[in-house]
């Protein structure tokens, strides 16, 4: 075995120790100054945009993702009604296959923000049309991407693998095949963000 291969194996072994040793989200990352959804996340609806309704696999992923996040005490989203919307799900041809998803925040008067710089009233989760059309995309990874974007919509930024954080909020390259659902630490992070 070459020296370089041995050192790579050692690095991998150490990474496994770091991940399994902490077993949770070390510390959540929030958007600056904890900017929040104005209305909170209880008793609010999620909306399936017209662009999403023709993708059965997306609808299944949304349902899985909403159920996963609804396990947090501060998140109770329901499918439809007359209440205000917390999250709108759409499909975008502008989001690339490798980007997978994107979250856009809207002020109470409907101005979009890519990164929230003031309180937002709802967020739009846009999933890549190319990803939804990909026949090789596993349902679990698609659902995980929807969960991840919802985490952004609630106010969470990315977790950082290099400091041992284990979370659905890890970037795709770090969570793929590893974190495929919302973890207890993620639920706590959202509960802590909302008073
Ligand atoms: Zn992300």
Cβ 106 vs Cβ 113: under 8 Å: yes
CA of 101 to the centre of ligand 1 (A): 8
CA of 153 to the centre of ligand 1 (A): 10
Residue 122, CB-side half-sphere exposure with 13 Å CA sphere: 17
CA of 103 to the centre of ligand 1 (A): 8
Give the tens place of pLDDT for each residue, 77-105: 999 877 889 999 999 999 999 999 999 99
Say whether pLDDT at 155 is over 70.
yes
The CATH class of the 33-155 domain is alpha beta
Per-domain residue ranges of the chain: 33-155
pLDDT at 54: 93
CA of 149 to the centre of ligand 1 (A): 6
Say whether pLDDT at 68 is over 50.
yes
CA of 147 to the centre of ligand 1 (A): 10
Cβ 137 vs Cβ 12: under 8 Å: no
Q: What average pLDDT does this structure show over 132-143? A: 96
CA of 176 to the centre of ligand 1 (A): 12
Give the residue ranges of DSSP H helices in 56-161.
Answer: 56-69, 129-133, 139-154
Give the tens place of pLDDT for each residue, 103-131: 999 998 999 998 888 889 999 999 999 99
CA of 10 to the centre of ligand 1 (A): 29
CA of 83 to the centre of ligand 1 (A): 27
Give the tens place of pLDDT for each residue, 23-65: 444 567 888 767 888 889 999 999 999 999 999 999 999 999 9
Cβ 4 vs Cβ 74: under 8 Å: no
pTM across the whole model: 0.85
Q: Cα separation of 32 and 36, whole Å?
A: 10
Q: Is the dihedral of CA 69, 90, 30, 80 positive or negative?
A: negative
């Amino acid at each position: 075995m070459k020296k370089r291969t041995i050192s790579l194996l050692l690095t991998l072994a150490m990474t496994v120790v770091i991940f399994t040793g902490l077993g949770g989200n070390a510390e959540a990352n929030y958007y600056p100054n904890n900017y929040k959804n104005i209305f909170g996340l209880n008793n609010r609806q999620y909306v399936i945009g017209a662009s999403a309704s023709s993708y059965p696999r997306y609808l299944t992923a949304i349902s899985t993702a909403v159920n996963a996040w609804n396990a947090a005490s501060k998140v109770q989203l329901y499918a439809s009604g007359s209440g205000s919307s917390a999250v709108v799900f759409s499909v975008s041809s502008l989001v690339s296959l490798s980007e997978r998803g994107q979250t856009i925040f809207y002020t109470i008067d409907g101005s979009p923000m890519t990164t929230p710089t003031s309180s937002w009233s709802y967020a739009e989760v846009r999933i890549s049309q190319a990803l939804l059309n990909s026949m090789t995309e596993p349902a679990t990874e698609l659902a995980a991407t929807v969960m991840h974007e919802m985490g952004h919509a609630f106010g969470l930024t990315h977790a950082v693998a290099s400091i041992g954080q284990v979370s659905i909020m890890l970037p795709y390259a770090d969570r793929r095949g590893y974190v495929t659902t919302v973890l207890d630490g993620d639920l706590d992070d959202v509960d802590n963000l909302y008073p």
